[in-house]
Chains A and B, each alone.
Chain A
Amino acid sequence: MTTAALESAVRSPGTPVQRIRRWLGHNALFVYTFAAIVYLMLPIVVMILFSFNRPAGKSNFAWREFSLNAWLNPFAPLGLSDAVIASLRIAFVSTIVATILGTLIGLGLTRYVFRGRAATNLIIFLPMATPEIVLGASLLTLFVSIGMARNELTILIAHIMFNISYVVVTIRARLAGFDRRLEEAAMDLGATEMVTFWKVTFPLIFPGILAAAMLAFSLSIDDFVITNFTAGSTVTLPMYIYGATRIGVPVQVNVIGTIIFGTAVGAVVLSTLLQRRDRAA
C-alpha cells in the first residue's frame, strides 16, 4: 500500500504529501479488504446461487433454471434433517465444552509459572500437528478397546479433543502481553480476586474467547475425517454430503448451507445493531 501511496503522491504534486499518503493508505486498505472479503465469499455466493437451481437430474452442478423448489421443501432428501440436527447439536456442545476447558488452560499457561509448563505446551500443541486421519483412527481404536459404542457421544468427545488446542492457542494470543497492572490496580482498590476476574480480566479476554468459540464451532460443524471414524451410525452433515456425491448432492444441501450461513450472518448483524443502539441511548 505504501508503493501505491507513493505513486499517487508523485502524480499529484503540490498537496501535502503526508495527508495524501495517509488517505490513499486508508483507501488502499479498504479496497484490499473488500477484495479479500469477495475472495472469501465467492464460493458462498455460488453455493447460494445453486440453491435456487432446478437441476434436471439428481446432481446440482450445471445451472438450468431458477426455482424455489428446494427452498419450499428443504428436508426432502431422506436423512438430511437428521444429519443437520446432529451436526448442529455436536457443534454447539463441543464448542461450549472445548471453549471452557481451553480457556482455563490458556489462563493457567499465561498467568502462572509452574512445574510442567513445557510438557503442557507440548500436549496442547501436538494434536494440531497430528494428521486428522491418525487422530480419528487412534481414537476409534481406543473406543473399540474399551468397548464403547460409537454414537453422537464419541463424536462429541473427539470434537472437544481437537478443539481444545485451537481454543488454547487463540486465547493465549489474546492473553500474551496482557497488562497485569490493570488487575493489580483493581485489587489495590479493594476488589477480591473473583471480582477482579469477572470485572477486569474477563471483559478484556472476552473477544479472544468469542473468537476461539467461533473457530471451534466452525471446525466442529465442518469436520469430516475424524467424525467419520468416531460416528458409528450417526450421520453428520459433512458425512451426508460426502456420501451424496456418489449419486449427486441434492439442491437441498445448498439450501441448508445457505440457511446456516444466513442465520449466523443475521445473528451477527442483529447484535451489531443492538450494540449500536445501546451506545446511542
Chain B
Amino acid sequence: MTALLRRYRFIVPYLLLTPGLIWLAIFYVYPSVQMFISSFWSGSLERGFTFSLSNVHNYTDALSRYQDQIVRSIFFAAAATVATFLISFPLAYTIAFRAGQYKNLLLFLVIAPFFTSFLLRVISWRTILGDDGLLLGPLKSAGLVGDDVRILATPVAVIAGIAYNFLPFMTLPIYVSLEKIDKRLLEAGQDLYATPWSAFRKITLPLALPGIFAGTLLTFIPAMGDYVNAELLGQTPGTKMIGNVVQSRFLVNNDYPTAAALSFILMAGILVAVAVYARLLGTEELVSSAG
C-alpha cells in the first residue's frame, strides 16, 4: 500500500480531493450554473422566462437600481468585520496563550451562542437593545441619553447583530493560527525585542496573519450577503442590504433574473475584494489560505 502510494504520489492529492469536490460539483457547481443561466432570462413567472444573451442588461439595471443597498452592504460588512476583529483578537489571544485549563471551555463559549436558534438570539437582542431595554433603559433613567434615542431599527443594531453572528468565524481561525505558534519563539522574541509590544508586533502578529486573513474573509463574505440581521434588527428602509434585495426579488417579486444577476454581482464583488485584499497583504500563500 505504502509502496504503491509512493510510486503514484501524484495521485494522492486527487484522491484526497475527489470525494469532497464531487459533492461540490454536483450540489453546488451544477445548480449554480443553472442559476447563472437564469440571470440572462427575461419574462415573468406568469408568462414564462426566455433566455437571451442580450439580457446582460439585467446586470447593469440591477447595479444602478440597487447601488444604495450595495454601498450599504459593503459599509455594514466592513464595519462589522472591524468590530469582530477588535473583539476576537484579544479573545483568541487569551484562549491560545493564557487560558490554561479553561481553554476548551472558553473555546466552546465562543461557539455556544450558535447552538441556540438565531431567532431566539434575535428576540433576546431585541429585549436587550429595546428602547427601554436592559441597555438603554438604565441609561435613559440616569439621563445619560435622550428619551428618543434608540438602537433598534438603526444601522448600529444591524452592524452589532452581524458582528455578533460572525464572531466565531473570526475568533476560531485566529485562535487556530495563534495556538500553533511555537511558544519558545515568543520567549526568544521577548528576550530579543525587550518589550512585549514589539515582540507581539514582530512575532505574534505576523504568525497570526493567516488566521486573521481567513477570519476576515469568513466574516466579511457572509456579512456582505447577510439579510437576516437587517431583516430582524434593522427592519427599516434605511438599513436594507443587498441580501434583502435578493431575498425580496426572489421570493416576493418572483423576479428570478434580477435576483440571480444580483447574486452573481455580489459573488464577483466578493472575489474582487478578496483578490485586492490578498494583494495588499502580500503573499500567495495567504490567498490560498482563504480557500
Instruction: Give A contacts to B, CB under 8 Å.
Output: 1-2, 18, 21-22, 25-26, 29-30, 32-33, 36-37, 39-44, 46-47, 61, 101-102, 104-105, 107-109, 111-112, 114, 117, 120-121, 123-135, 137-139, 141-142, 157-158, 160-161, 164-166, 168-170, 172-174, 176-178, 192-194, 204, 207-208, 211, 214-215, 217-219, 221-222, 224-225, 237-238, 241-242, 245, 249, 253-254, 257, 260-261, 264-265, 268-269, 271-272, 275-276
Contacts and interface: CB of A to CB of B under 8 A. Distances in A.
Interface in B75-130: 87, 90-91, 93-95, 98, 101-102, 104-121, 123-125, 127-128
A37 B107 CA distance: 10
Q: Which 9 residue pairs are nearest across A and B when measured between Cβ atoms? A: A108-B16, A43-B124, A218-B114, A138-B31, A112-B13, A101-B20, A46-B124, A131-B225, A129-B270
B247 interface: yes
Contacts of B110: 40
A211 B50 CA distance: 46
Interface of B: 1-2, 5-6, 10, 12-17, 19-21, 23-25, 27-32, 34-35, 87, 90-91, 93-95, 98, 101-102, 104-121, 123-125, 127-128, 164, 167-169, 172-173, 175-177, 179-180, 195-197, 207, 210-211, 214, 217-218, 221-222, 225, 227-228, 243, 246-247, 250-251, 259-260, 263, 266-267, 270-271, 274, 285, 287-291
Contacts of B19: 101, 104
Given A40-B110, A133-B247, A176-B285, A238 B117 contact: yes
Contact of B10 (A114, A178, A192): A114
B179 to A, nearest CB: 6
Contacts of B218: 128, 166, 169
25 contacts: A36-B87, A44-B112, A47-B124, A61-B127, A123-B24, A123-B25, A124-B291, A126-B267, A130-B267, A133-B243, A134-B263, A135-B31, A139-B27, A160-B27, A169-B214, A169-B218, A170-B172, A170-B173, A214-B172, A215-B169, A221-B115, A254-B120, A264-B112, A265-B112, A268-B105
B156 to A, nearest CB: 15
A277 B24 CA distance: 43
Nearest to B160: A39
Contacts of A169: 173, 214, 217-218, 289-291
A22 B267 contact: no
Contacts of A138: 31-32, 34-35
A177 B180 contact: yes
B123 A249 contact: yes
Interface of A is mostly: helix
A194 B12 CA distance: 13
Contact of A37 (B106, B117, B125, B172): B106
A207 B98 contact: no
Contact of B90 (A32, A215, A265): A32
Contacts of A137: 35, 250
Contacts of A141: 31, 34-35
Contacts of B211: 173
Interface centre among A125, A173, A253, A272 (most CB of B within 10 A): A173
A130 B117 contact: no
A218 B168 CA distance: 10
Given A207-B179, A211-B107, A272-B104, A120 B21 contact: yes
B123 A192 contact: no
A18 B127 CA distance: 44
B127 to A, nearest CB: 5
Contacts of A117: 288
Contact of A276 (B5, B25, B101): B101
Most chain B CB neighbours (cut-off 10 Å) among A30, A37, A131, A193:
A131
Given A29-B98, A36-B90, A214 B176 contact: no
Nearest to B31: A138
Given A43-B125, A193-B2, A268-B104, A30 B119 contact: no
Contact of B196 (A21, A40, A41, A121): A21
Contacts of A193: 2, 5-6
A177 B124 contact: no
A129 B114 contact: no
Given A124-B291, A194-B2, A272-B104, A104 B17 contact: yes
